[in-house]
Chain A
């Protein structure tokens, strides 16, 4: 069936570098996407979202890019900090509160 997935299960970056976390989705009908951050022992925390009528959205130190042509979503974190170490999930909202999560990428920030 159609699903949301991630290219890489782990990503290790140096503190201060930029991080890029990728996500591939296959449900072309989905019109809303969210990136979540989950730290150990906590529930997922909303980072940023984007609707399908946009291709870029910026937040504080984070940018989400959406390429509907190739069904690809990415999360860019600028000047990555140790506190950014966590598992990052992309999720698609298929409507009617039906949220589906991708596999997740573990980001490790090295000091």
Chain B
């Protein structure tokens, strides 16, 4: 299995809702990432987990809350989002923490906040 899966593919939520995005990989990778991508823009790094510990938090608002239950799973909990948070949320994983190594991306969850 050489892919990163993300669910759901699409999500529409109101500003008072609580929802979660899920990401899974079974490649034995020990680093996992969340990126946010607005239309016609590059992916922007949000969070990095290395060996299930949060290693990079790019000053993301607290309405986004990451969680790494185990080395194969990564969640992003959403609460009280704003319309400007509408974007494609990408999950990625890489073989090991630190150094230079390829990141494998999932297809993303397209989020719309009404």
Contact = CB atoms under 8 A, between A and B. Distances in A.
A44 B43 contact: yes
Contacts of B48: 96-98
A96 B42 contact: no
A95 B104 CA distance: 17
The majority secondary structure among interface residues of chain B is strand
A101 B103 contact: no
A51 B99 CA distance: 11
Interface in B82-114: 90, 92, 94, 97-100, 102-108
A52 to B, nearest CB: 9
Nearest to B96: A97
A89 B44 CA distance: 12
Contacts, number: 61
Interface in A45-101: 45-46, 49, 51, 89, 93, 95-101
B98 A96 contact: yes
Contacts of B103: 34, 46, 99
B28 to A, nearest CB: 16
A43 B90 contact: yes
B42 A89 contact: yes
A103 to B, nearest CB: 6
Contacts of B43: 44, 89, 101
A80 to B, nearest CB: 22
B45 interface: yes
A27 to B, nearest CB: 14
7 contacts: A36-B105, A42-B108, A43-B90, A43-B92, A89-B42, A97-B31, A98-B48
The 3 A-B residue pairs whose C-beta atoms are closest, nearest first, are: A43-B105, A101-B42, A32-B100
